[in-house]
Amino acid sequence: MFPDVRLRRLRKGKIRNLVRETTLSVDDLVQPIFVNETIDSAVEIPSMPGIYNIPLSEVVNEAKEIAELGIPAVIIFGVPAFKDAEGSSAYGETDVVQEAVRRIKAELGDELVVITDVCMCEYTSHGHCGIVDFETKEILNDPTLEVIGKIAVSHAKAGADMVAPSCMMDGMVEAIRHALDTNGFENIPIMSYAAKYHSCFYGPFREAAESGYSFGDRSTYQMDPANSDEAIREVTLDVAEGADILIVKPALPYLDIVYRVKVDYGMPTAAYNVSGEYSMIKAAAANGWLDEEKAIYESLISIKRAGADIIITYFAKDAARMLK
């Protein structure tokens, strides 16, 4: 006890660095990329300063910049020219994500891990993450599984290193694992959005990905923010179905979930530092209310401290420059 124990002794100069319990590395980071086949030049997203919709013609340059910063991975989101109720532009051989993956891998090979988001919301005319029964306005679980299996296989055929299902349909990991395995892609890992909450923090993303919904909301398939034990049940099922990496989304409001998932399962755990988390810091910094670099670092180190091995973040490029 005090005065024999003085914890401030270890908070001086370089001693502070020696006893630091958590470190943030560029190797922890994944940079999202929005690839939009309806544009000819990069367009900044108004609600996400510094983040752009990238045309296919520029996606390789964007990927090169990310790789040169030492960031090991990207996750690709597509914005198609055509949408319909079935999301048919999500799984064609020459559709936007497939073409982006093919171009990046042809240029960079193994220099950059290319992860693809497997969902339907960007590709459907109604903006929901699955097949819809328009009479009942129900998002149909089982018919959606067949489609997301096709999407995952099409991404693997294009050269994706990893697929990341985000639709929160029951059985999605099992459906994708079966589809990949039966098509010769048994070595492609699945990074599952295992605990994805129905969150207001996705707002800027929906602008970026043009994935807003035309009716209702996504609360019948994404999780209630009030629930913690349910997240563990979701993760348990995904692990049993063959998930290789587990994602908690969003990150900062759900650090308790990140911690529980890492402690309970001891598996590679990712947290998605989502668009709203990004935009809040950017807006506060623009108004002079926060020191932007310090806020970025404190946010990311807290996610790492909670147990995340991987952080998907729009700050990845900024953080990589800071860490250098």
Helix axes of 292-306 and 275-286: crossing angle, nearest 10 degrees: 150
Say which DSSP state 236 is in. Answer: H
Q: Sorting pLDDT into bands at 50, 70 and 90, what band is 219?
A: confident
Mean per-residue pLDDT of the chain: 95
Residue 310 has pLDDT above 90, yes or no: yes
Token readout for 279 is 């935009």
Single pTM value for the model: 0.96
CB distance 160 to 102 below 8 Å: no
Residue 217 has pLDDT above 80, yes or no: no
CA angle 84, 131, 272 (to 5 degrees): 95
Q: Is 206 annotated as a binding residue?
A: yes
Q: Give the pLDDT confidence score for residue 250 in this predicted structure.
A: 98
Is 123 annotated in some ligand binding site?
no
167 is in an annotated binding site: no
| pLDDT the model gives residue 216 | 64
Give 182-214 pLDDT, tens digit per residue.
999 999 999 999 999 999 999 887 776 565 666
pLDDT reported for residue 195? 97
121 in a known ligand binding site: yes
| 3-class DSSP string for 35-94 | EECCCCCCEECCCCCCCEEECHHHHHHHHHHHHHCCCCEEEEEEECCCCECCCHHHCCCC
Give residue 51's identity as a one-letter amino acid code. Answer: I
Q: Which residue has the tokens 């998907």?
A: 312
- Structure confidence at residue 133 (pLDDT): 86
Angstrom distance (rounded) from CA 47 to CA 61: 23
CATH class as words, domain 20-323: alpha beta
Ordered by start, the domain boundaries in the chain are 20-323
Q: Is 200 assigned to a binding site?
A: no
> Percentage of residues in the chain with pLDDT exceeding 90?
89
Return the minimum-mean-pLDDT range out of 60-64, 85-89, 182-186, 257-261.
85-89
Question: Annotated active-site positions, please?
Answer: 196, 249
